[in-house]
């Protein structure tokens, strides 16, 4: 059966979330449960419903790409996207078709000029590594930027200590 790319509708969110959970569950990682994934996908979708597409094989959702738009100094950027294709349907061009559809829509509807993405490097292993895929599609790695994340609990403890130290110094 031919694979179609179409916009996401509210009724799809549960199935799209279930697919996201399936894609991001491996033998070593099972934190994106269906419930968490459905909530996450619904959040992305509701931020920008115009930039949300699925690939369908008949009634079955086999891929998705959902993203948002941010205003930036050189024009609107497509940001915070999630693209994922069912393992059984990979390497058939579905990811490319989802990307093409979403970026054309972003350009036409929002005048978007650039697309940004967070991608796992090869260090994560072949299952989740996607940086090469982005590179093949003309994206560039910005070596000057790194992802910084931390526990709020730990950050608050450290910040508290640093504030106290600063105030005793002045």
Ligand X SMILES: CC(C)(COP(=O)(O)OP(=O)(O)OC[C@H]1O[C@@H](n2cnc3c(N)ncnc32)[C@H](O)[C@@H]1OP(=O)(O)O)[C@@H](O)C(=O)NCCC(=O)NCCS
Residues lying near ligand X in the complex (CB under 6 A) are found at: 23, 83-85, 90-96, 117, 119, 128-130, 132-133, 136
Q: How far is the CB of 64 from ligand X (least distance, A)?
A: 9
Query: Whose Cβ is closer to ligand X: residue 93's or residue 111's?
Result: 93
The secondary structure element, H or E, covering residue 21 is: helix 13-23
| Residue 40 or 128 having the CB closest to ligand X | 128
Of the candidates 44, 47, 49, the residue with the CA atom closest to the CA atom of residue 105:
49
Reading the block at residue 157, the tokens are 């403890």
Nearest-approach distance from CB 97 to ligand X, in angstroms: 7
Nearest to 66 by CA among 48, 52, 84: 52
Position of minimal CB gap to ligand X: 95
- 96 or 163, CB closer to ligand X? 96
Report, in Å, the least distance between residue 145 CB and ligand X. 15
d(CA 1, CA 62): 12
Q: Is 11 helix (H, G, I), strand (E, B) or coil?
A: helix
């Amino acid at each position: 059966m031919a694979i179609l790319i179409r916009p996401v509708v509210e009724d799809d969110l549960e199935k799209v979330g279930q697919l996201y959970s399936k894609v991001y569950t491996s033998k070593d990682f099972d934190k994106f449960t269906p419930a968490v994934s459905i909530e996450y996908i619904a959040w992305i979708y509701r931020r920008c419903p115009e930039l949300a597409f699925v690939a369908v094989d008949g009634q079955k959702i086999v891929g998705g790409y959902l993203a948002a738009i941010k205003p930036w100094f050189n024009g609107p950027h497509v940001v915070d996207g999630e693209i994922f294709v069912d393992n059984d349907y990979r390497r058939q061009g579905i990811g490319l078709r989802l990307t093409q559809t979403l970026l054309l829509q972003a350009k036409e509807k929002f005048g978007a000029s650039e697309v940004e993405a967070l991608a796992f490097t090869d260090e994560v292993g072949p299952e989740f590594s996607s940086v090469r895929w982005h590179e093949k599609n003309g994206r560039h790695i910005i070596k000057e930027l790194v992802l910084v994340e931390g526990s709020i609990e730990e950050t608050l403890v450290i910040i508290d200590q640093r504030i106290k130290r600063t105030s005793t110094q002045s």
